[in-house]
Structure 1
Amino acid sequence: MKKTTIKMQKFLQIIILFLLPFTFQAQDSKNAKELLDQVAAKVRSYDNITLDFKYSYTSPKDNINQESRGDVTLKDSQYYLNFMGITRISDGKKVYTINPEDEEISISRLDENSSSEFTPSKILTFFSSGYKYSWDIPQNVKGRKIQYIKLLPLSNKDSRKEILLGIDVQTKHIYNMIETSKNGARKTFTINSFKTNQPLSKNQFTFTESKYPNYYINKLD
């Protein structure tokens, strides 16, 4: 009877050791999801958001190393974006892409449900679905505690291998996003300035065609 009890105890210990990693993993995923939910809720609580950001792209395979800065003002599905010499304005219905170098303006219908549609607000809430979450490393950035969450796309068709999302623990704002593709390319988006509820002009997201008299207008749809 005593030997049977000892064997049972050893068996239970083995079972516990086997299940322990899964328990930590479940808690790890839960903590990551809770923090991401807090970030999304914080973003949605603002009337508008203005960001100044840095963007970099590296691809060892193609010997590419690019870096650029930009800024964007967001309000719901409306936005005003300046990036890499291009200005994009969304009034919530149409997207106007202004290219000064080519003196061309492309006008297209805004489709927020399209996965290919670039909407700056998606940068702040894209993680809400379609990913497996896990708790990653914390970092101290100029006195700010940045907690990283690792996101793994659930779709096998996704060209991205993983995404690291750095979150300011105190403000619950996104600090940066590091996206690594399966081909080794890496995109890094770092927010240098995060302002909220700024006074905006009533024409902030209005495209005025008369400002571009010599531009070619390309209506895509």
Structure 2
Amino acid sequence: MKSKIQDSKKITMQIMAKRLLLLTAMFLFSFSIQAQDKKAKDLLDQVTAKVKSYNNIAIDFKYSLNNYKENINQESKGNVTMKGNQYVLNFMGVTKIFDGKKTYTIVPEDEEITISTVNEKDDNAITPSKMLTFFNSGYKYSMDILQNVKGRKIQYIKLVPTNAKDQRKEVLLGIDIQTKHIYNLIEVGKKGTKTTLTVNSFKTNQPLSKNQFTFAESKYPSYYVNKLD
């Protein structure tokens, strides 16, 4: 039973990492999609210009997964610190560090560390740039509803996958009109599953240690280290 729970946690962590990196990609890189909706394109460009001016970004977030038909309702909290394509992600008791070349996944519950090298030429590699490329070539987008969330005006942009085999019906990106920061990211599946990433705290240009994105194996003397390559 413990093994199944741990496997489920790792799978959820991987899914979360993909969604978070999609969000990160939107933060850190310019949007080059051909204009399908000028207002949506202009707003995305403003978000990109604003965030690219920051040296680093620290986010506290809430992640939820819901499927009313299957009676699934899960919520978790986490945080991520990003600088360029480097990041440290803490989620569901697991820490994931990407130093620009290698990914280190640290699981205290199992006392295990997995180290893998990111191949930039691998189409399946989960990196911000790859996620951005996927996003640019796989969606149509348009302006959606404007909501008032606790006094904040949140403008949503709807992204619809162009691949009929994609299991997602649509993706909604919520943007704070005043700050031009991303407020949340919502994925709606064709089978009724909805996953939501909501930004609770958004800090920029924080004082970071020079070793912020460096993995130190000496901190984990009793851990099993699994090197995938």
For this structure pair, what is the TM-score category when the shorter chain's length is used for normalisation? 0.7 to 0.9
* Separation of aligned partners in 1, 2:130 and 2:44: 13
Cα distance change of structure 1 residues 110 and 97 upon mapping to structure 2, 3 Å threshold = same
Aligned with 1:80 (options 82, 88, 92): 88
Q: Which residue identity does 1:181 align to in structure 2?
A: G
TM-score by length of 1: 0.80
* Separation of aligned partners in 2, 1:77 and 1:147: 26
Contact 2:112 2:223 in 1 (8 A): yes
Contact 1:103 1:215 in 2 (8 A): yes
Contact 1:40 1:125 in 2 (8 A): no
1:199 Cα shift? Answer: 1.0
1:118 Cα shift? Answer: 4.2
Contact 1:132 1:151 in 2 (8 A): yes
Contact 1:42 1:172 in 2 (8 A): yes
Percent identity of paired positions between Structure 1 and Structure 2 = 70
Cα distance change of structure 1 residues 138 and 112 upon mapping to structure 2, 3 Å threshold = farther
2:214 counterpart residue number: 206
Contact 1:153 1:162 in 2 (8 A): yes
Cα distance change of structure 1 residues 94 and 102 upon mapping to structure 2, 3 Å threshold = same
Cα distance change of structure 1 residues 176 and 186 upon mapping to structure 2, 3 Å threshold = same
Contact 1:40 1:124 in 2 (8 A): no
Cα distance change of structure 1 residues 94 and 215 upon mapping to structure 2, 3 Å threshold = same
1:137 counterpart residue number: 145
Cα distance change of structure 1 residues 126 and 208 upon mapping to structure 2, 3 Å threshold = same
1:7-43 deviation digits (Å, cap 9, x = unpaired): xxxxxxxxxxxxxxxxxxxx98211122112212322
Cα distance change of structure 1 residues 202 and 211 upon mapping to structure 2, 3 Å threshold = same
Contact 1:56 1:67 in 2 (8 A): yes
When structure 1 is superposed on structure 2, of 31-40 and 143-152 the one drifting more is 31-40
In the TM superposition, 1:54-133 aligns within 5 A as: 54-111=62-119, 116-119=124-127, 127-133=135-141
User: How much is the aligned-residue C-alpha RMSD, in angstroms?
Assistant: 2.4
Residue segments in structure 1 that go unaligned for 5+ positions in a row: 1-26
Is residue 2:158 matched to residue 1:154?
no
Q: Size of the alignment, in residue pairs?
A: 195
